[in-house]
Amino acid sequence: MAIWSNKFHQAMNTSAYDFNQSIQVDARLLDADLRGSIGHAKMLGNQEVLTPSEADQLCQTLQVMREEYATGKLVIDYSCEDIHSFIEEELTKRLGAIGKKIHTGRSRNDQVATAMKIYAKDAAQSLQEGLKKAVLTFCDQAEVYKETIMPGYTHLQRAQPITYGHYLMAYVEMFRRDYGRLGDVIKRIDQTLPLGAGALATTTFPLDRFQTAEFLGFESPSLNSLDAVADRDYSLEFLSALAVMAMHLSRYAEETILWASQEFHFVHIEDTFSTGSSIMPQKKNADIHELMRGKTGRVYGDLMAVLTLMKGLPLTYNKDLQEEKERLFDAIDTMTMMVSLLPEMLKATQPDTEAMYKAAGKGFLNATDCADYLTAKGIPFREAYQTTGDLLQYCQSHQKTLETLTLEEYQQFDPHFDEGIYQAIDLKTCVYKRQVLGGPAPQCVADHIQRVRAFFLDDKKVN
């Protein structure tokens, strides 16, 4: 029987009841709801809406239920309409009439909004932990490979030499922004507590919502009851942060798939993170990376579903909002899985340093350095650029590279060339001389790694 059944409402059609219930999805809100309920009961006691003994008994029993849930002892009755109904039923079973008092001055509308915020905050924090682990693993690998030269690309065309370490640190920056975005989500969640807004218009009981906010760790109660029960912005912000994070993971996955192909051969994915083919015995497929790329679409779908769900909803609560939970949970679960895979996935990806170096040697990646060499001798850059273009054309038609041109050949194009050109266009020089902050020079990458480690390993830092 639903907690709301009374003589005024006839029994529901059973299929309609099944369609309406959500306990399979929202059972995971159990602990968050118990915490919210404890805050509510405590405040009701302080405000003398309940007697101190009633409030104490409620709080104690709710706490016992938390402990039983944590140790797997609490048996959830899945015939209840939702987890909020189950909690009230269970309290009533344990405390009789006192259990029925928990719902004084609240509605499931403010209750569910509160439980979702508490749950979402925990989830965002544990995703941050996962990202931190991934970032530190990327830093460790970047340190190992900070001198490993490889081609850097624009337009998927070889452009300038970089290092594998420099490349890995690009993802560290993406993950750091993801970490920060989750921090923003947490900050927004913390700003306002919906509890006390009631169904939509608060209550006639003298609630002290500031007290409840303080008990539950929120900065302030929400200031408009209609908005409080209708608002799902925090969920949209969370989903947006997850969608961007998924996009980053997908780019990493895509690049690794590409690089593991015979065509590039830059990395080798160990067997622990690849699969075989049922027909082609020689195949090693990057299924895990492909799934990471594929699941990104699913997370985008979750975001789009909730945006679409919200766009036409009249104030205040509408049952459509029940659907929001499943989408947010799906995105959280998907991203939790993906982020936790990252560290081992990276460790199972071995760069082929020789292949990378060889590729960096083809395609005139040091052409900019040749132009820069002339520019440093006082030639205006645009002229140096043209001269280098002429040199490249000459190299191409004579099957030469900038390294194999003789000094006489160089000087035919510009008399400023001297022996120093060979040093200037050496791939190692190209990388080591790019010492501008954020650049590929090993010392810059080392500095970057150090800053990131300090950020994540210094306890005093703020998100």
Rule CB under 6 A: which residues touch ligand ARG? 22, 26, 82, 84, 108-109, 112, 317, 319, 321-322
CB-wise, 106 or 434, nearer to ligand ARG? Answer: 106
CB-wise, 82 or 178, nearer to ligand ARG? Answer: 82
Nearest distance, CB of residue 297 and ligand ARG, angstroms = 26
Q: How many residues does the chain have?
A: 463
| Residue 142, helix vs strand vs coil | helix
Nearest distance, CB of residue 113 and ligand ARG, angstroms = 9
d(CA 86, CA 56): 20
In 28-126, which ranges are E strands? none
CA 69 to chain centre: 28
C-beta of residue 102 within 8 angstroms of C-beta of residue 40: yes
- Per-residue b or e along 400-417, where b marks 16 or more CB atoms closer than 10 Å to that residue's CB: ebbeebeeeebeebbebb
Q: Which of 15, 155, 278, 397 is an active site residue?
A: 155
CB-wise, 322 or 429, nearer to ligand ARG? Answer: 322
Cβ neighbours of residue 149 closer than 8 Å, sequence gap 6 or more: 161, 162, 163, 356, 357, 360, 427, 428, 431
CB-wise, 112 or 427, nearer to ligand ARG? Answer: 112
d(CA 234, CA 359): 46
C-beta of residue 143 within 8 angstroms of C-beta of residue 169: no
d(CA 230, CA 316): 5
d(CA 99, CA 41): 11
Nearest distance, CB of residue 30 and ligand ARG, angstroms = 13
Can you spell out the DSSP letters for 406-434? -HHHHHHH-TT--THHHHHT-HHHHHHT-
> Residue 308 carries which side chain, given as an amino acid letter?
T
CB-wise, 109 or 368, nearer to ligand ARG? Answer: 109
> Residue 309 carries which side chain, given as an amino acid letter?
L
d(CA 250, CA 253): 5
Catalytic residue check, 250: no
Nearest distance, CB of residue 58 and ligand ARG, angstroms = 20
Stretch (H or E) spanning 90:
helix 83-95
Task: Find, among 172, 183, 177, the residue nearest to 125 by Cα.
Answer: 183
| Dihedral angle, C-alpha 50, 114, 107, 308, nearest 10 ° | 180
Q: Which of 79, 220, 277, 398 is an active site residue?
A: 277
Nearest distance, CB of residue 82 and ligand ARG, angstroms = 4
CB-wise, 215 or 317, nearer to ligand ARG? Answer: 317
Nearest distance, CB of residue 48 and ligand ARG, angstroms = 28
CB-wise, 89 or 178, nearer to ligand ARG? Answer: 89
> Residue 29 carries which side chain, given as an amino acid letter?
L
To which residue do tokens 């985008």 refer? 300
Catalytic residue check, 277: yes
Nearest distance, CB of residue 6 and ligand ARG, angstroms = 14
Nearest distance, CB of residue 197 and ligand ARG, angstroms = 12
CB-wise, 54 or 330, nearer to ligand ARG? Answer: 330
Active site residues: 155, 277
